[in-house]
Amino acid sequence: MKTIGIIGGGQLGRMMTQAAKKMGFHVIVLDPGENSPAGQVADSQIIGSWNDPESLKKIVEETDICTYDLEHVDTKVLIELADQGNKIHPDPRVLSVIQDKLLQKQCIAEAGISTPAFIELKDDADFATFGFPLVQKTRKGGYDGKGVLVMKDKTAMAEKLPGACMLEKMVDLEMELGVMVARGIDGDIVSYPVTEMTFDDRSNILDLCIVPARISPELEAKARDLAEKTIEALGGAGIFGVEMFVDKAGEIFVNEVAPRPHNSGHYTIEACVTSQYEQHIRAVAGLPLGSPDQTRPCVMYNLLGEPGYTGEPYLHGLEVCLHIPGVSLHMYGKAETRGFRKMGHVTVTSTVLEDALDKALIVKKNLKVISE
Amino acid sequence: MKTIGIIGGGQLGRMMTQAAKKMGFHVIVLDPGENSPAGQVADSQIIGSWNDPESLKKIVEETDICTYDLEHVDTKVLIELADQGNKIHPDPRVLSVIQDKLLQKQCIAEAGISTPAFIELKDDADFATFGFPLVQKTRKGGYDGKGVLVMKDKTAMAEKLPGACMLEKMVDLEMELGVMVARGIDGDIVSYPVTEMTFDDRSNILDLCIVPARISPELEAKARDLAEKTIEALGGAGIFGVEMFVDKAGEIFVNEVAPRPHNSGHYTIEACVTSQYEQHIRAVAGLPLGSPDQTRPCVMYNLLGEPGYTGEPYLHGLEVCLHIPGVSLHMYGKAETRGFRKMGHVTVTSTVLEDALDKALIVKKNLKVISE
């Protein structure tokens, strides 16, 4: 059986590893932290940074196929390694485009896909282009709301983000949607059902994912079509998370793409025929893609560390929640909880979406990650 | 988070470990083989036999709760350890009854549950009790058809099994059924849908599991009721596999009980709200039991090593099979394939049972575990 290397040992790498092991692959993880979430369930872990050329070379050489659980890796080294004939998916050249939000958006817009209006930020005069409110984004390195600044008016310029940035016209937001799309090495593309996403105001981390999204069949079809076209434009093999905005007029815009399994696709483990993790492994290993069909309505939410608690995690309220049928708990094996840290997630499935939503809200209210 | 110890590191331990890790538990496995299927995905493995008192003591002392992936363990040591206040589930006293097929059947029969007629084999005169054909079983240590002899007539006595045995009247078999039953520490009991089982004539290993079984609602209800009563009679916390015979007159008999996740319950990973593995972990950890409801019709079969091949496993025909929607492959991470060795299993789900069955038969015909 082949060995898959995963660069990055967080929760996405962990669930990828579990899917790969299920299918019979050996798995080696590269992560700087000992006993990383993915390292705990993999065959072995290389301790090293995903930006260290020697570590990257080591994992690529020790495995048959390499992939990532995060996009912030050194693509220069990976492009060299890929050019030497090593199998690295998605293609590190695609990753280097996606890493830079400006290049990513240019690539998507050039394919004729609707995005919020954007420009490169070259000097302060650019802040006047769209008028306020507007959104400033750092071109590289942002995640979970970090590297994104919503500027209500020009006074916000006093706290503008440093470094290379882009500006976007603020969308008059009605809702956010997510679509997972898988692309095989042969170019075959499948998309998953549309996820309706709500965000936590305090942390800006994804709050509830409701699937299927409560939208019209027309909007559902449009969102999936846009998401597939986006991944066709970017290229590369693997699974991709496509985040979209819908404005108050019902127009839909592609916001951002993640070249990996995505938080908004966790629900696929319980609620779809093929999970996003197995789909990713199938895609990067050159195997046929699986069915993305949904089997049960569901709601997923992130289990964040309760603010005010630091230390070994303890689940307060677990028994009450596990009494509720259809509640599935996923913990990531992180040794320490901290306020708003992603410690796990909960997926609630049911035969009826409203029932799953009601139950998810009960669990969310009662289950807390505190320290022992 | 608590640590669960699993005595035995085979495929059942592996899938138990994966369920336990998903729920946030740490897992330590005890198995004599380095890099065992379960050890590969657990936090650590103690190398040692499940009959070695020192190794058993070590795993019980290093963990908060201990359980097993096989019933052939030294219960004497475990009873002592349980009496000292260690949490070991199912109760090793229950295990010692189940280990001995005669005691097991006596316990079930005494509860008024229908079983094939049986007697202890004391001397050769006993072979005349039920007339031929009859079944001779060793009281302890049998599995996958080993330790079971179907005696067509008295000439078979020349090859009778050695050691302490029992005899059973041969059931005029129409079909075999299986029901997984979970019992919580508080005595709460839930049963899963009924599995229809067919066996491989060459290896006597479970061949196809078809769920739901193609039986009348009355027989389905009767099978689940019998299975639940059987586990009530035996006691203990965890998941149990109850195997049953249906004779040509439509009568149903309890054949045997396995005090652990069971081959006939693999299907629950894809096709039920709560898998048998998560259910077992919930039960032994004193957590509420999950819903056993089935979400999709399915067929499961064991992926046995192709006869004539020994060595590092290679999956011939994988691509063809993964093109079929609803095919889920589970490999156990065994380093070497051998003829008829359980190397993995395949679950095929669909919206319609007949479709799942058709697809499973295509996969079975095309997917072979050979050596590289």
> SS3 letters for chain B?
CCEEEEECCCHHHHHHHHHHHHCCCEEEEEECCCCCCCHHHCCEEEECCCCCHHHHHHHHHHCCEEEECCCCCCHHHHHHHHHCCCEECCCHHHHHHHHCHHHHHHHHHHCCCCCCCEEEECCHHHHHCCCCCEEEEECCCCECCECEEEECCHHHHHHCCCCCEEEEECCCEEEEEEEEEEECCCCCEEECCCEEEEECCCCCCEEEEEECCCCCHHHHHHHHHHHHHHHHHHCCCEEEEEEEEEECCCCEEEEEEECCCCHHHCCHHHHECCCHHHHHHHHHCCCCCCCCCECCCEEEEEEEECCCCCECEEEECHHHHHCCCCEEEEECCCCCECCCCEEEEEEEECCCHHHHHHHHHHHHHHCEEEEC
Domain extents in chain A: 3-88, 117-169, 173-371
Question: Which chain A residue is nearest to residue B15, measuring alpha carbons?
Answer: A22
All residues at 6 or more sequence positions from B366 whose CB lies less than 8 Å from its CB, including other chains: B317, B320, B321
What pLDDT is recorded for position B68?
Answer: 96
pLDDT at B200 over 80: no
What 8-state DSSP symbol labels residue A337? Answer: B
Name the residue of chain B whose CA is nearest to A291's CA.
Answer: B325
B348-365 pLDDT, tens per residue?
999 999 999 999 999 999
pTM of the model: 0.95
Q: Is B117-169 a CATH 3.40.50.10490 domain?
A: no
Determine the pLDDT at residue B95: 96
**Is B1's pLDDT higher than 90?**
no
The reply to whether A293 touches chain B by the CB within 8 Å rule is yes
Q: Which residues of B touch A13 (CB under 8 A)?
A: none
Task: Find the distance separating the first CA and the last CA of chain B, reported in whole Å.
Answer: 41
Burial class (CB within 10 angstroms; exposed 0-12, middle 13-18, buried 19+) of B372: exposed
**In the predicted model, what is the mean pLDDT of residues A116-122?**
96
How many of the other CB atoms lie within 10 Å of CB of B310?
15
Backbone angles phi, psi at B31, to 5 degrees: -160, 145
The topology (CATH level 3) of B173-371 is D-amino Acid Aminotransferase; Chain A, domain 1 (3.30.470)
Q: How far apart are CA A209 and CA A177, in angstroms?
A: 9
Q: Is the pLDDT of residue A277 over 80?
A: yes
A10-30 per-position pLDDT tens digit:
999 999 999 999 999 999 999
Q: Kindly state whether A282 is in contact with chain B, defined as any CB-CB distance less than 8 angstroms.
A: yes
Q: What is the pLDDT of residue A244?
A: 97
Cα separation, A365 vs A358, whole angstroms: 11
User: Cα(A364)–Cα(A359) distance, rounded to whole angstroms?
Assistant: 9
Q: Does B313 touch chain A (CB under 8 A)?
A: yes
- Confidence at residue B141, expressed as pLDDT on a 0 to 100 scale: 83
Interface with A, mutate which of B3, B21, B43 (most A CBs under 10 A): B21
CB contact under 8 A, A295 and B293: no
Q: How far is B83 from chain A (nearest CA, A)?
A: 26
Which of A27-36, B116-125, B136-145 has the lowest average pLDDT? Answer: B136-145
pLDDT at A165 over 90: yes
Structure tokens at A121: 């930020």
Q: Is A168 annotated as a binding residue?
A: yes
Whether residue B197 is predicted with pLDDT greater than 90 in this model: the reply is yes
pLDDT in tens, A134-157: 999 999 987 767 889 999 998 988
Give me A207's structure tokens: 């709050």
Closest-CA residue of A relative to B344 is A24
DSSP A104: H
pLDDT in tens, B76-102: 999 999 999 999 999 999 999 999 999
pLDDT value, residue B146? 82
> How many CB contacts within 8 angstroms connect chain A with chain B?
93
**B322-331 tens-digit pLDDT:** 999 999 999 9
Mean pLDDT value across residues B205-233: 95
Q: What is the pLDDT at residue B204?
A: 67
Average pLDDT over residues A30-53: 95
* Per-residue confidence band for B199, with pLDDT thresholds at 50, 70 and 90: confident
Residue with the bigger pLDDT between B66 and A74: it is: B66
3 state SS of A25 = coil
CATH of range A3-88; options 3.40.50.12780, 3.40.50.20, 3.40.50.11810, 3.40.50.1100: 3.40.50.20
Answer positive or negative: Cα dihedral of A207, A210, A211, A213: negative
Residue B205 has pLDDT above 90, yes or no: no
Confidence of residue A122 (pLDDT cuts 50, 70, 90): very high
The yes-or-no verdict on residue B206 having pLDDT over 80 is: no
What's the CA gap between B337 and B311, in Å, rounded? 5
pLDDT at B203 over 80: no
- Does B293 touch chain A if contact means CB atoms closer than 8 Å? yes
What average pLDDT does this structure show over A273-282?
Answer: 98
| Per-residue pLDDT tens over the stretch B170-184 | 999 999 999 999 999
pLDDT at A204: 67
ipTM score here?
Answer: 0.93
Q: Do domains B3-88 and B117-169 have the same CATH topology?
A: no
Is residue B166 pLDDT above 90, yes or no? yes
Proportion of chain B above pLDDT 70, given as a percent:
98
